[in-house]
Structure 1
Amino acid sequence: MTADGPAEDGSPRTTAPGAAEGLDARLLVERGSFRLDVPLAAAPGEVVALLGPNGAGKTTALRALAGLAPLGGGHLRLDGESLERTPAESRPVGVVFQDYLLFPHLTALDNVAFGPRCQGVPKGEARARAAEWLDRMGLADRAGVKPRRLSGGQAQRVALARALAVRPRLLLLDEPLAALDARTRLEIRAQLRRHLAAFEAVAVLVTHDPLDAMVLADRLVVIEEGRVVQDGAPADIARHPRSDYIARLVGLNLYRGRAEGHTVRLDDGPAITTTEDLTGPAFVAFPPGAVTLHRDRPTGSSARNLWQCRVVGLESYGDRIRTDLTGELALAADLTTVAAAELGLHPGAPVWATVKAMQTHAYPA
């Protein structure tokens, strides 16, 4: 064994000579007609978010990593060690479940000490380690409190402390902020980001919230129908979505077609003029805020893209109105409430939509 520098708690950690550090997995799981096939790799210190719609297979992937769902094939290696046949309780894995699953009859201190005790750590040492983690979480004064007297944010931090107290080489977080109200979520998200930045092993986060993923993760792996559809840095995925689901998450209108110079001819719609010069299969995207609506066909407009549409839906958020359109091109437009009122928009209303070429973005499919 060779030492690889101190862990977050100051103790040395070791790996077999020549072993590849981090996570290297291909998760194959079959449940009835559903089949999960997800390759997943991450380096120590990297936070990877699994993002996808309900039923995509995110939680199944997390359970497979934890040993709670058996693999039907593929492989799972952590720091060069195969874990396919290692029982869940013997894996160097810490898990923060969506509902935290704190033991209601134990204090916060004993909840955190539970994992080390299961690893054979003496009671006094386990409680000392737990106290240290609660202090790091800002919960030293809540050590003797049972879960029913903890706030949602405090319970989340106790669950995280419990997961980290076992000194895991893989930290799994299943929707860790989903149970929190909006105000608490903002505060705990910032705290969780700091803890994950200090975590020296691999962390895998499952979430359906794009903001959580963008803030907490170094890399996003987007899963749809059991397969990876996109993998990359948050900024790259936000700028170059490759599926309708991702485009909706990041707030873009997305289309696919074939590029011929500055024109992308859509597979099932009109052509869109862009500033990029491309040839071959391509995506073209633009934000709803780039769309301008007119009740009458505009004259003298500098916009290169013009489509006749009809309003099919209106939704208010803040001081904006999201307008869903169908017609020559299905798209979403964001307007101020004043602009929507002046246009007299309502479901069924005919409109003309324009988008300037400079506000579109085309890239190879």
Structure 2
Amino acid sequence: MTRLDNAGPSPAAGVSDGLDAHLVLDRGAFRLDVRLTVAPGEVLALLGPNGAGKTTSLRTLAGLTPLTDGHLRLDGRTLEEPALRRRVPTEDRPVGVIFQDYLLFPHLTALDNVAFGPRCHGVPKADARARAAELLARMGLTDHAGVKPRRLSGGQAQRVALARALATGPRLLLLDEPLAALDARARLDVRAELRRHLAAFEAVAVLVTHDPLDAMVLADRLVVIEHGRVVQEGTPAEIARRPRTDYIARLVGLNLYQGEADGHAVTLGHGVTVTTTERLTGPAFVAFPPSAVTLSPDRPDSSARNAWRAAITGLESHGDQIRVALTGLADGMPLTADLTAVSVAELGLHEGAQVWATVKAAQTHAYPA
């Protein structure tokens, strides 16, 4: 595979520390306090609900928003440390950024958009254009080098933006919702292509996304931010398997509850006890997918160890399924179930209807809180 190596000035020989950041930004009503460590060649995704601090984190990494405390180091070089009054100007940082709407210059061709960065760094015009042509070739865009942005498809514009970000040889590549501007059809192909390019990038890449699939496919590791702080981090598989907040559970499509475990039983704050296959003691989470929930009009005579009387509070399409929102009648416990449209019709389900919800212990997953 062709490596997307760096052009221009390189860090000192032997330096490959990657990113070491403690991002602190105090805005009174909102405080960001996030620690990030990313190795060269690693792709990190920042996830979180609106207002969590993802974009703010990206802006501080880019040097667009100054830190109020903490530090930002890249390949062993301090780019910012307020306590030492150290701050490298934004334009002098080895950082490339791909913005959500790409921000290509409309009056320049694809080639000149890519060559713009090197030219700003003093690279002669011929050399800058040669470097741009090489990057466009890697992106499969040689035939579009002379095309202006308005004549590019969304996927082509995204690749030009990536080439432009790489043209200055960044040691840190930042991607802000890189696929958000694409329609669903283009997103699938461009996501796979972007993953290949990121896998070939030798420095640090950090992306912000709201889409869990983008994060799972593009990133080696996820950091979840809520209220300006890291609440969970790990590989995509670890996050999906053991969510620790309601936001993450919704993101990966699980019912999640926290309670006190005693053997195979986890007693929730709602007063409900969930029977699990794992044996635990102490604070614990218990999770199960909506597909594990069976609904019936009468209490079923089955082997399911967990059964609750609940009322339907909403129904909505969810892919090829119908997602049913429920609330426990005795305890107010929220619950979601996924059923086929045929099952919903046969059961005559509607908002306000009362049903029995059951989950087999074998379909639950409990783990320490």
Query: TM-score normalised by the shorter chain: which range applies?
Result: over 0.9
Q: 1:318 to 1:237 in 2, by over 3 A?
A: closer
- 2:9, 2:169 within 8 Å by CA — same for their partners in 1? no
Alignment partner, residue 325 of structure 2? 324
- 1:104, 1:147 within 8 Å by CA — same for their partners in 2? yes
How far does residue 15 in structure 1 lie from its aligned partner after superposition? 3.6
Alignment partner, residue 362 of structure 1? 366
Structure 2 CA distance for aligned equivalents of residues 14 and 90 of structure 1 = 13
Alignment partner, residue 141 of structure 1? 143
Q: Deviations over 1:20-54 (max 9, x none)?
A: 61000000012241111100010000000000111
Q: Gapped runs of 5+ residues in structure 1?
A: 1-5
Alignment partner, residue 118 of structure 2? 116
Alignment partner, residue 35 of structure 1? 31
Q: 1:7 to 1:308 in 2, by over 3 A?
A: closer
How far does residue 312 in structure 1 lie from its aligned partner after superposition? 0.4
Selected match of 1:211 from 213, 219, 223: 213
Q: Deviations over 1:300-355 (max 9, x none)?
A: x1000010100000012343110000014310000111111111100110100000
Structure 2 CA distance for aligned equivalents of residues 297 and 267 of structure 1 = 23
Q: 1:18 to 1:166 in 2, by over 3 A?
A: closer
Alignment partner, residue 59 of structure 2? 63
Structure 2 CA distance for aligned equivalents of residues 26 and 225 of structure 1 = 16
- 1:21, 1:44 within 8 Å by CA — same for their partners in 2? yes
Structure 2 CA distance for aligned equivalents of residues 336 and 64 of structure 1 = 45
After TM superposition, the structure 1 = structure 2 runs for residues 260-339 of structure 1, keeping only pairs within 5 Å, are: 260-299=262-301, 301-327=302-328, 328=331, 329-339=333-343
Structure 2 CA distance for aligned equivalents of residues 18 and 149 of structure 1 = 43
How far does residue 116 in structure 1 lie from its aligned partner after superposition? 0.6
After TM superposition, the structure 1 = structure 2 runs for residues 54-203 of structure 1, keeping only pairs within 5 Å, are: 54-84=50-80, 85-203=87-205
Amino acid at match of 1:82: T
Amino acid at match of 2:361: A
Structure 1 CA distance for aligned equivalents of residues 154 and 15 of structure 2 = 40
How far does residue 120 in structure 1 lie from its aligned partner after superposition? 1.1
Structure 2 CA distance for aligned equivalents of residues 176 and 163 of structure 1 = 12
Amino acid at match of 2:135: W
Deviates more, 1:55-64 or 1:15-24: 15-24
SS of structure 2 residue aligned to 1:325 = strand
Q: RMSD of the alignment, in Å?
A: 1.5
Structure 2 CA distance for aligned equivalents of residues 204 and 87 of structure 1 = 20
Deviates more, 1:251-260 or 1:263-272: 263-272
Q: 1:40 to 1:244 in 2, by over 3 A?
A: same
Amino acid at match of 1:178: A
How far does residue 19 in structure 1 lie from its aligned partner after superposition? 4.7
Selected match of 1:242 from 238, 244, 249: 244
How far does residue 8 in structure 1 lie from its aligned partner after superposition? 3.4
How far does residue 113 in structure 1 lie from its aligned partner after superposition? 0.3
How far does residue 87 in structure 1 lie from its aligned partner after superposition? 1.0
Deviates more, 1:263-272 or 1:156-165: 263-272
How far does residue 269 in structure 1 lie from its aligned partner after superposition? 3.5
Q: 1:12 to 1:95 in 2, by over 3 A?
A: closer
How far does residue 13 in structure 1 lie from its aligned partner after superposition? 7.2
Identical residues among aligned pairs (%)? 76
How far does residue 268 in structure 1 lie from its aligned partner after superposition? 2.7
Amino acid at match of 1:325: L
Kindly tell me the number of residue pairs found equivalent between the two proteins. 359
TM-score scaled by length of structure 2: 0.95
Structure 1 CA distance for aligned equivalents of residues 7 and 338 of structure 2 = 53
Alignment partner, residue 3 of structure 1? none
Q: Deviations over 1:111-150 (max 9, x none)?
A: 0001111111111100000000011111101111111111
Selected match of 1:21 from 17, 36, 41: 17
Alignment partner, residue 46 of structure 1? 42
Selected match of 1:221 from 223, 229, 238: 223
Structure 2 CA distance for aligned equivalents of residues 196 and 163 of structure 1 = 12
